[in-house]
Structure 1
Amino acid sequence: MITTVTMNAAIDKTYYLPAFPHGKVSRVRQYLAAPGGKGINVAKVAAQLGAEVTASGIVGGMNGEIIKKQLDDMSIAHQFVAVEGESRLCLNIIDEETGSSTELLEPGPVVDNRALDAMVQTMSALARTSKVVCISGSLPAGAPADYYIRLVGAAKKEGAYVILDASGDALRFGLQANPDMIKPNEEEVAALLGTGIRDEQELLRAMEDLLREYRMERVCVSLGGAGSLTVTSQGRYRAVTPPIQVVNTVGCGDSFVAGMAVSLLKQLPAEEGIAMAAAAGTANALSAMAGSVDPDTFRRLLGQVEISRM
């Protein structure tokens, strides 16, 4: 089983407008709504790829109940910690005239020590029956910056393979618990090592430094439309994805993580796992909804991803 953790779950709404002028009334032509937050996006895509998955994290209020109901409708198991306050709404406004995307992200509820302790207990229980645990996204208000040390540690203690997809201090502290895989961007790699990165070779060496320093198995960096780079103890890999007409970029990184998690669940070789991750991220870019992959599109793209050793 795969378990995903979203500490600040959300309802994601995407509004499509013919145009989005500032300071004027705009009428929405179409909108989509779905449970969201990075970990929930991972759960949705992993389920679409045929994996058994449980979504966990923190929810609150009526929005939290809606999130759980929507996951029920998707036949995705869940085990959340409930808190007072309302889970957030995240709005993505698509201006169809310019193709631009504007995101408005609410802060979400404030959590207390009771909820944080309960989440660690929930993590331990779920990790006992999970091969892979994906901890994704930002921390809610009230959680200390080093909280992911506790969650990563709890999951690893139970023998799960842990993917940590976070940024800033949450990632920096979380690394101290030695997750098995991280997916930073180039700027985050540089910030973690306190150094500048001038070219791809320096980026690869920096990824290898992180791999050794924190005793990880994989470090992946997305290159957007140019694919991705992955460093493992077995070597360096480049994934090149086919050119596409992008519909939506929100959730592509989460879909990448989902593809990797499914490959780990299936115990596939590194090259096949990287290809699955790249194909899932690209398939999400062809969907209007964040964290949504059409299985047929995924399979078609999987055959077009090129993996090379470096």
Structure 2
Amino acid sequence: MNLIAIGDNVVDCYLDQNKYYPGGNCVNVAVNAKKNGAENVAYMGVFATDQKAEHIKHALNQESIDFEYSRTAEGISGQPQVSLTPEGDRVFIGGPKNTVQHVLKLQLTEKDLEYISQYDLCHVSCYSSMEGELAKLSKVIDISYDFSNKLDLDYVELVAKHIKHAFFSAAELNDHELKAFIDKISEFDFEVVALTRGGLPALFIKDNHIYEQTLNPIKVIDTMGAGDSLIAGFLVNYISGADMNVSIERATKSAENTCKMYGGFGYPKEF
């Protein structure tokens, strides 16, 4: 299975540690796809020109993630600031808005599309600012998309026709709201839908059948990137031919491994 992730790269700044870690949904999914057995994994995005961007590139090199088709722009990296709750949950509390990813959007060329088409699946997130590129991207490759907590149905409808596998964070929905949301998104032509629910079991939907994740008791160090790791673990196994139950089980193990370390996939660096 070969995967390319296109979109966001950041460093997550842990104020309680005075350290930062490479991350961003698409970077995390790329690295964890490799950890879950994907043979070839690439990342494409816009890198800044600061030391934080160099650290992200270093981590990607260490994890054997190809990023040669990425761009570089003068400016600073995304660097959200986060603090840790007693339960190990990371809470985002702000960060600079004048980053290269806030200012610039990636536009795909014909050469990019030819390169991307060599992969089995492309992963994009709502933080990638790629909405305008999805139409031409979907013509050359299947797309998985992390909507995160963007549950607005107008937004979902805007991109849904280009997406094959959809991931949502539905932790803020109560049971009634969750059922109503599932009923609404069933109108879209997704092959697989997954909804994470914070500390509750995630739900996966295929062919109108709902699969519930089985959670295992683990010692949580840090939840940063756990959802991204779940996505990567599921996609690699599902696209490789595993059935839904096996794919969910292995995705859960992937997320568990991420919860046992600081950062999306390690590589701390002091400010």
If the length of structure 2 is used for normalisation, what is the TM-score? 0.81
- 1:80 counterpart residue number: 70
Question: Helix, strand or coil: the match of 1:42?
Answer: helix
User: 1:2: Cα distance to partner?
Assistant: 0.4
Contact 1:163/1:181 (CA < 8 Å) preserved in 2? yes
**Higher relative contact order (Cα pairs below 8 Å, separated by 6+ residues):** 2
| Alpha-carbon distance between aligned partners in 2 of 1:84 and 1:173, rounded to the nearest angstrom | 34
Question: Helix, strand or coil: the match of 1:61?
Answer: coil
Identity of aligned residues (%): 20
Contact 1:60/1:86 (CA < 8 Å) preserved in 2? yes
Structure 1 residues 172 and 260, CA gap change in structure 2 (3 angstroms): same
Structure 2 residue 118 is matched with structure 1 residue 129: yes
Show CA shifts across 1:251-282 (max 9, x none): 11111111112113312112222222222222
Q: Which runs of 5+ in 1 are unaligned?
A: 18-27, 189-196, 293-310
Q: Which runs of 5+ in 2 are unaligned?
A: 267-271
5 Å-filtered alignment, 1:123-202, equals 124-139=113-128, 147-148=130-131, 150-158=132-140, 160-166=141-147, 167-168=149-150, 171-172=155-156, 174-186=158-170, 199=175
Show CA shifts across 1:70-123 (max 9, x none): 311322111312223222223334477x867453433322445xx532x36565
Match of 1:37 among 21, 24, 44: 24
Structure 1 residues 156 and 99, CA gap change in structure 2 (3 angstroms): closer
Structure 1 residues 245 and 187, CA gap change in structure 2 (3 angstroms): closer
Structure 2 residue 200 is matched with structure 1 residue 226: yes
Match of 1:67 among 44, 56, 60: 56
How many residues align? The count is: 256
- 1:11 counterpart residue number: 11
| Alpha-carbon distance between aligned partners in 1 of 2:207 and 2:89, rounded to the nearest angstrom | 40
Contact 2:89/2:224 (CA < 8 Å) preserved in 1? no
If the length of structure 1 is used for normalisation, what is the TM-score? 0.71
Root-mean-square deviation (CA, aligned residues, Å) is 2.9
Of Structure 1 and Structure 2, the greater helix share is in 1
Structure 1 residues 99 and 283, CA gap change in structure 2 (3 angstroms): closer
| Alpha-carbon distance between aligned partners in 2 of 1:99 and 1:270, rounded to the nearest angstrom | 29
